[in-house]
Amino acid sequence: MDGLLLTRRERFRNYSEKTALVVGPSLVLALVALAMGLWVDAVVIVAIAGTTALALGSAVRTRVGAAVLGVLLVAGIFLILLAVAWFGSHPIQRGD
């Protein structure tokens, strides 16, 4: 279905569902970070996920694709946060 004959309400509902499926797993990660007291990480996660979900909500064709992209997005955000934490705690070699 190409969506040409959908009403404005149906298009908005489809967009909202796809956007929620993209951003949902990231919000769970943000809630876990918030429960651990990492409020800065939670804000960063919500900011990245929100902007990405707004763009992908209209680009994704199916709900399954939106769910898969949501899982990939949360995995990518987690890996970025893991790398930043590792670089931040990694000792720098001093040239004595």
Model confidence pLDDT, tens digit, residues 19-78: 999 999 999 999 999 999 999 999 999 999 999 988 888 888 899 999 999 999 999 999
In a domain, 94, yes or no: no
Task: Fill in the amino acid letter for 49.
Answer: A
- Output the pLDDT for position 93: 62
Tally the domains of the chain. 1
In a domain, 4, yes or no: no
In a domain, 6, yes or no: no
pLDDT for 84 beyond 70: yes
**Domain around 39:** 12-87
In a domain, 1, yes or no: no
pLDDT for 96 beyond 70: no
Report yes or no: 24 and 70 within 8 Å, Cβ to Cβ.
yes
pLDDT band at residue 87 using 50, 70 and 90 as cut-offs: confident
Q: What is the pTM of this model?
A: 0.82
* Number of neighbouring beta carbons within 10 Å of residue 22: 29
